[in-house]
Structure 1
Amino acid sequence: MVRLTRAQQQERTRAAVLVAALREFAEYGYGEAKIDRIAERAELTRGAVYSNFTGKRALYLAVLADTAERARDSAESPVESPGSVAGALGAFARVWLERLPLAGDTPASGHLQLRSLSGVVDTDAARAALAELVGFEALLLALALEPRSAVRTRTVRQAGLVLTLLHGAAGLAENAPGAGDPFDVARAAEHLAGIALLHDAEPSHLPFVGPARSAEDRWAAPRGLRDEVGGRRVDLGEDGVVVVLGVRRLSAADEALRSALPRDAVTLVIVTSDPSEIGRLARLRVADLVGCLRRVFPAGDLPRLRVVFDDGGTVASALDWNSVDDFTEVAVRVRDGLIVARADGRGAGHAVAGAPSRPH
C-alpha cells in the first residue's frame, strides 16, 4: 500500500471537492448549492471542504478557474495568423462565443458554461477588482492584435469594445438562452476594427510621477514561477522590468508597457491580500482570456507581457516589500543580475520602465 504525503492527500482532497462542486453547481446553480451536499458528493466531511476553501464563493470561483485553466492548457494554437485586425477580432469572437448556452440547457449548467459571475461578485472590493480585470483583458487582446507594435490606446479601446459586446451577448444568453445570432455578433466584432475613436491622453497622474531610484543591488530571484500567457517558466533574474501589482492596480500594466524599451522583457506579477476569492477571480479571468487567445493567434503572436500569479507574495518579499494588498505597486529594472532601478507607489512601473538600464 502506497502511503500518501500530507501534501498529496490534501491535493487529492482538493481535487475531489472540485469535482463534487462542479456537479453541485451544474445541478443547483450557485445560489442553491450547499456545502453539505458537496461534502456528501465527495464522500468527505464538511470540515474537509472548509479546510481547502474558505466558503461557497471561493469554491465556485475555484471551479470556474480550474475549468478555464484546463481549457487554456489544452488549447492548440493555429499555425498562421488571422491576418488583419478585423479578421482576428472576428476569429476571437467566434471562439469566445462557443460558451453561449443553447435553448435546451438548464439555467445552472448554462451559467457554469458562461463562467457566469451573477450573484457572485457582490462586494465593493470584488466589483472594483473585476473592473480592473476587464481593462487588463482588453490590454492582453490588444497586444495579440498588434504583436510587433507599441501599445496603442486606440487598439486597447477597440479590444475593450469587443469584450463589452461579447459580455453583453453572454448576459442576454444567460437570461434568454438561444436569443440572438452569435454569427452576427462575431461579424459585428470584425466591424469594430474600423470604428473611429477619439484620441485619449495619457493618464493624468503620469507627469507627476517621480523618477525611479538608482540602485546596484543583487537579489535572489524567486524560481518556479510560470507565465500564464506563454505557459513557460519565468526567470526573473534576466534583464528586464518586473512590476508587482495588486489586482486593483492592474491598469498600471499599460503604463509600464508604454514606457518600456522594445527589447525589454516585462513581467507582471499579480498579488492580492485575498487569494481565495479576489485571487481566484483574477486567475479565472486571465486564464479564460488567454485560452481564447491561444486558439486564435500563433504562439509567436501571443502577448509579449509575461504574467505571473504570486499568491504568497514571494516576489515582493524578495524585493524587500513585505506588505502586499490589492493596491500594491512596486517595480524594479534588472540588468546583469543587478537591480539597477527601483520605484514604488502609483506610477512605479512607468518610472522603472523609463529608467536607465545601467546603474549610475
Structure 2
Amino acid sequence: MVRLTRAQQQERTRATVLAAAKAEFTERGYIEAKVDRIAERADLTRGAVYSNFPSKRALYLAVLVDVVEHGDDRIAPSSPPSMAGALGGFARAWLHRLPLTADDPLAHQVRLPALAGVFDDEPARGALAQASRLEALLLALALESRPSADGMTARQVRRAELVLRLLNGPALDFGDPFDVADACEHLGGLRLADSWAPPHLPYVEPARSCREPWTPPAELPDLISGRPVGFAEDGVVAVLGTSRLAAAEELVRAARPGDRVVVAVVTGDPAETGRLVQLRISDFTHCLRRAFAPDAWPRLHLVLDDRALVAAAVGVPDADDATESAVRIRGGELVARADGRGAAHAAATADVPNTTPREATT
C-alpha cells in the first residue's frame, strides 16, 4: 500500500471537494448550494471543506477557475492579417466559449453578469473594474503587435475597450451572437483618436538607485501564455494590488526594448479577490490565445502572486490590494526600486549607470 505524503493527501482532498462542489453548483446554482451537501457528496466533514476553502464564495471561485483553466485552449495558427479580422476572430473565440443551450448551467456562471450577483461588495467590484482595464490593455497590445499600414494610431486601448464593452454588454442577451461578432469586426475600421499621456506621470518620484542582490522566487504560471515564468532575467518586475492593475500600462509603455516585463498581482484576500481576478484574466487569455498567434501575444508576463512570494522577494512585506511597487533587475542585482503610485513607470524609466559590480567597488 502506497502511503501518501501530507501534501499529496491535501491535494487529493482538495480535488475531491472541488468535484463535489462542481456537482452541487451545477445542480443548484450558487445561492441554493449548501456547504453541508458538498461535504456529504465528498464524504468529508464540513470542517474538512472549510480547511481547504475559507468560504462558499471562495469554493465557487475555485470551481470556476478549474472549469476555465481545463477547458478548450487551442492556439491560433496565425494572426489575422487585418485589424478587422483580428477583432472578428477574437469576438468569435469569446462567443464560442459561451453555451448556446442551457445543458450546462455551470458554464453560464463564467460570464461576468452571473458573477456580479455573487461578488457585489466593494472590493470585488473594484477588482473587476481593474481586471477590465487590464483585459483592454492585453487585447490592445495584441492588436498593436500588428504592423499598421492604414494610418491608425499606434495605441489601441480605446478600440479594445469598445469591443469588450460590446462583448460584455446586454447585446448578448437580446441580440444574435453572430451579429455581435460582425459588429466587433466592423470596429476594426473605426478611426479613433487614442493617445497615451497620463497627467500624473510627469510628477512621479524617480526610482531610487540601489545595488542589492536579487534572489528570484520560484517560477509561477503566466496567466497570458499558460507557461511557467521565472524572475531571473534582466528587466522590470512590478507588484500590483488588485486595485492598481491599471498601472500595468504605465509599465508596458515605459519599458525599454529588450526588457523582460513581469506584473505580479497581489491581494489581501487571495481566496476570493485573488481567485476572482484569476478567473477573469484566465477566461480572457484563453480567448486571446485562440485568436492571436504567439508572436502577437502581449509583451508582458502576468502572474498571480497569491502567496506573496514575488512581493517578499521585491521587499514588500505586507502586500495588499493597494500595493504598487517595482524593481529593475540587471545582472542578478536590484539596481532601482520604487513604491507608491507610479512605481511601475518609475522603475521602468530608471536611469541607472551601466556599471559592473567590480567597477562599483573601485
TM-score, normalised by the number of residues in structure 2: 0.91
Q: CA deviation at 1:78?
A: 2.3
Which of these residues, 105, 108, 113, is aligned with residue 111 of structure 1?
A: 108
Q: CA deviation at 1:297?
A: 1.2
The whole-number CA distance in structure 1 between the counterparts of 2:79 and 2:13 is 42
Judge conservation of contact 2:268–2:319 (CA < 8 Å) in 1.
yes
Which of these residues, 101, 124, 130, is aligned with residue 99 of structure 2?
A: 101
The whole-number CA distance in structure 2 between the counterparts of 1:354 and 1:85 is 30
Judge conservation of contact 1:99–1:114 (CA < 8 Å) in 2.
no
Judge conservation of contact 2:157–2:194 (CA < 8 Å) in 1.
no
Which residue identity does 1:320 align to in structure 2? G
Aligned residue for 1:129? 127
Which residue identity does 2:268 align to in structure 1? S
Distance 1:297 1:200, change over 3 A: closer
Aligned residue for 1:176? none
Q: Could you report, residue by residue, the CA deviation over 1:152-174 in whole angstroms, capped at 9, with x for unpaired residues? A: 7841111111111111157x53x
> Following superposition of structure 1 onto structure 2, how do residues 1-360 of structure 1 map, counting pairs within 5 Å?
1-71=1-71, 74-105=72-103, 108-109=105-106, 111-112=108-109, 114=111, 116-147=114-145, 154-169=155-170, 172-173=172-173, 179-200=174-195, 202-358=197-353
The whole-number CA distance in structure 2 between the counterparts of 1:285 and 1:223 is 24
- Any unmatched runs of 5+ in structure 1? 174-178
Range moving further from structure 2, 305-314 or 124-133: 305-314
The whole-number CA distance in structure 2 between the counterparts of 1:21 and 1:50 is 12
Judge conservation of contact 2:156–2:194 (CA < 8 Å) in 1.
no
TM-score, normalised by the number of residues in structure 1: 0.91
Q: CA deviation at 1:143?
A: 1.3
Aligned residues: CA RMSD = 2.0
Judge conservation of contact 2:262–2:301 (CA < 8 Å) in 1.
yes
Which residue identity does 1:165 align to in structure 2? L
The whole-number CA distance in structure 2 between the counterparts of 1:144 and 1:123 is 32
Q: CA deviation at 1:320?
A: 2.1
The whole-number CA distance in structure 2 between the counterparts of 1:266 and 1:149 is 22
Q: Could you report, residue by residue, the CA deviation over 1:173-219 in whole angstroms, capped at 9, with x for unpaired residues? A: 3xxxxx42111100000111222334455222211101111111112
Judge conservation of contact 1:335–1:357 (CA < 8 Å) in 2.
no
Distance 1:331 1:153, change over 3 A: farther
Which residue identity does 1:335 align to in structure 2? R
How many residue pairs get aligned? The number is 350
